A and B are shown apart, each in its own frame.
Chain A
Amino acid sequence: MTTKEHDASVYEDIQASAEFQDLKRRFRRWTFPMTAAFLAWYLLYVVLSGWARDFMGIKLFGNINVALVFGLLQFVSTFAIAWAYSRHAEKRFDPIADKLRHEVEEKIK
Chain B
Amino acid sequence: MKSETLATILFLSFVALTLGITFWASRQTKTAADYYAGGRSFSGVQNGLAIGGDYMSAASFLGIAGIIALSGYDGFLYSIGFLVAWLVALLLVAELMRNSGKFTMADVLAFRMSPRPVRTAAGVSTITVSIFYLLAQMVGAGALVGLLLGITSPSGKAWTIVGVGALMIVYVVFGGMKGTTWVQIVKAVLLMTGAALITILVLSHYGFNLSSLLGEAAAKSGKGANFLIPGLKYGTAAQGLAGKIDLISLGLALVLGTAGLPHILIRFYTVPTAKDARKSVLWGIGIIGVFYLLTLVLGFGAAALVGGKVIAASDKAGNTAAPLLAKAVGEIFLGSAGGTILLALIGAVAFATILAVVAGLTLASSSSFAHDLYAHVFRRGNATEREEVLVARISAFVIGAVAIGLGILAQGQNVAFLVALAFAVAASGNLPAILYSLFWKRFNTAGAVSAIYGGLVSALLLVIFSPVVSGSETALIKDAAFNWFPLSNPGIISIPLGFLFGYLGTIMSKEYNAAKYAEIEVRSLTGVGAEQATKH
Q: What residues of chain A have their CB less than 8 Å away from a CB belonging to chain B?
A: 7-9, 11-12, 14-15, 20, 23-24, 27, 31, 34-35, 38-39, 42-43, 45-47, 49-51, 53, 56-57, 59, 61-65, 67-68, 71, 74-75, 78-79, 81-83, 85-86, 89, 93-94, 97-98, 100-101, 104-105, 108
Contact = CB atoms under 8 A, between A and B. Distances in A.
Contacts of A93: 525
B189 interface: no
Contact of A15 (B77, B95, B521, B529): B521
Interface residues of B, number: 59
Contacts of B235: 49-50
A39 B252 CA distance: 9
Given A8-B515, A86-B282, A56 B229 contact: yes
B115 interface: no
A94 B275 contact: yes
B244 A51 contact: yes
A3 B503 CA distance: 32
Question: Does more than half of chain B's interface fall in helix, strand or loop, or is it mixed?
Answer: helix
A98 to B, nearest CB: 8
B515 A12 contact: yes
A104 B522 contact: yes
A53 B229 contact: yes
Interface string B8-48: 00000000000000000000000000000000000000000
A20 B518 CA distance: 11
B38 to A, nearest CB: 23
B124 interface: no
B518 A8 contact: yes
A59 to B, nearest CB: 8
In the complex, which of the residues B225, B522, B527 has the most CB atoms of chain A within 10 Å of its own CB atom?
A: B522
Nearest to A14: B522
Given A46-B251, A104-B522, A11 B84 contact: no
In the complex, which of the residues A9, A68, A89 has the most CB atoms of chain B within 10 Å of its own CB atom?
A: A68
A13 to B, nearest CB: 9
Contact of A74 (B80, B212, B527): B80
Contact of B212 (A23, A53, A62): A62
Given A35-B91, A42-B80, A62-B215, 18 more contacts: A12-B514, A14-B518, A42-B81, A43-B248, A46-B77, A49-B230, A50-B230, A57-B229, A63-B212, A64-B211, A67-B228, A71-B80, A75-B83, A82-B86, A89-B278, A93-B525, A97-B525, A101-B528
30 contacts: A8-B518, A11-B518, A12-B515, A15-B521, A27-B525, A35-B87, A35-B91, A38-B84, A46-B247, A49-B77, A49-B235, A57-B225, A59-B225, A61-B211, A62-B209, A64-B210, A67-B73, A68-B76, A71-B80, A74-B80, A75-B289, A75-B293, A78-B86, A82-B90, A82-B281, A82-B285, A83-B282, A97-B525, A97-B527, A100-B528
